[in-house]
Amino acid sequence: MLANILLPLLALSGTICAASTFKKRMDYSEKGSVKGVNLGGWFVIEPFINPSLFEAFGDDIPNDEYHYTLSLGKELAYERLNEHWGSWITEADFETMSGIGLNFVRIPVGYWALLALDGDPYVQGQLPYLDQALEWCAKYNIQAWIDLHGVPGSQNGFDNSGYREDAEYLAWFQGDNLNKTYEALSIMSERYGGANYSDVVAGIELVNEPLGTYLDINTIAEYYDTGYKMIRDDLDLVTDVIMHDAFRDQNYWDPYFQLYDYWGVVIDHHRYQVFSTGELARTIDEHVDFVCKQGADTASEYHWSLTGEWSAALTDCTYWLNGVGRGARYDATYQSSTKYGTCDGINDISTWTDEQKQNTRKFIEAQMDAYDQGAGWIFWTWKTENALEWDFQRLVYEGLVPQPLTDRQYPNQCGY
Ligand SMILES: *[C@@H]1O[C@H](CO)[C@@H](O)[C@H](O)[C@H]1NC(C)=O
Ligand SMILES: *[C@@H]1O[C@H](CO)[C@@H](O)[C@H](O)[C@H]1NC(C)=O
Residue 122 CA to residue 77 CA, distance in Å, equals 8
Instruction: Please tell me which of 17-31, 190-204, 248-262 the model is most confident about, judged by mean pLDDT.
Output: 190-204
Residue 157 CA to residue 153 CA, distance in Å, equals 9
Residue nearest to ligand 1 atom 2, measured at CA = 179
Residue nearest to ligand 1 atom 3, measured at CA = 179
pLDDT score for 23? 59
Residue 227 CA to residue 79 CA, distance in Å, equals 34
Q: Which atom of ligand 2 is the closest one to the Cα of 190?
A: 13
DSSP per position, 270-295: EE-S-SSHHHHT--HHHHHHHHHHHH
Pocket of ligand 1 (CB under 6 A): 176, 179
Find the catalytic residue in 209, 301, 365, 389: 209
pLDDT for residue 18 is more than 70:
no
pLDDT score for 257? 79
pLDDT for residue 65 is more than 80:
yes
pLDDT for residue 1 is more than 70:
no
Whole-number Å distance, alpha carbon 311 to ligand 2 midpoint, is: 36
Total Cβ atoms within 10 A of residue 231 = 27
Contact, 6 vs 257, CB < 8 A? no
pLDDT for residue 10 is more than 80:
no
The overall average pLDDT reported for the chain is 92
pLDDT band at 238 (very low <50, low <70, confident <90, very high): confident
pLDDT score for 13? 36
State yes or no: cis peptide before 404, omega within 30 of 0.
Answer: yes
Find the catalytic residue in 46, 65, 205, 309: 309
**Residue 238 burial (CB < 10 Å; 0-12/13-18/19+)?**
middle
Whole-number Å distance, alpha carbon 241 to ligand 1 midpoint, is: 23
pLDDT for residue 6 is more than 60:
no
**pLDDT per residue over 321-361, tens digit each?**
999 999 999 999 999 999 999 999 999 999 999 999 999 99
Q: Is 198 in the pocket of ligand 2 (CB under 6 A)?
A: no
**pLDDT per residue over 303-317, tens digit each?**
889 999 999 999 999
**pLDDT per residue over 71-88, tens digit each?**
999 999 999 999 999 999
What are the two backbone dihedrals, phi and then psi, of residue 109, each rounded to the nearest 5 degrees? Answer: -135, 135
Residue 209 is among the residues annotated as catalytic for this protein: yes
pLDDT for residue 15 is more than 80:
no
pLDDT for residue 20 is more than 90:
no
pLDDT for residue 213 is more than 80:
yes
pLDDT score for 12? 38
Total Cβ atoms within 10 A of residue 348 = 10
Q: Which atom of ligand 2 is the closest one to the Cα of 196?
A: 1
pLDDT score for 215? 97
Average of per-residue pLDDT across 389-403: 98
Architecture of domain 2-10+31-397: Alpha-Beta Barrel (3.20)
Contact, 370 vs 291, CB < 8 A? yes
Ranking 297-311, 319-333, 391-405 by mean pLDDT, the lowest is 297-311
Q: How far is CA 13 from the centre of its chain?
A: 33
Secondary element (H or E) of residue 220: helix 217-229
pLDDT for residue 2 is more than 50:
no
pLDDT for residue 9 is more than 60:
no
pLDDT score for 302? 86
Q: Is 191 in the pocket of ligand 2 (CB under 6 A)?
A: yes
Residue boundaries of the structural domains of the chain: 2-10+31-397
pLDDT for residue 21 is more than 60:
no
Residue 30 is among the residues annotated as catalytic for this protein: no
pLDDT band at 261 (very low <50, low <70, confident <90, very high): low
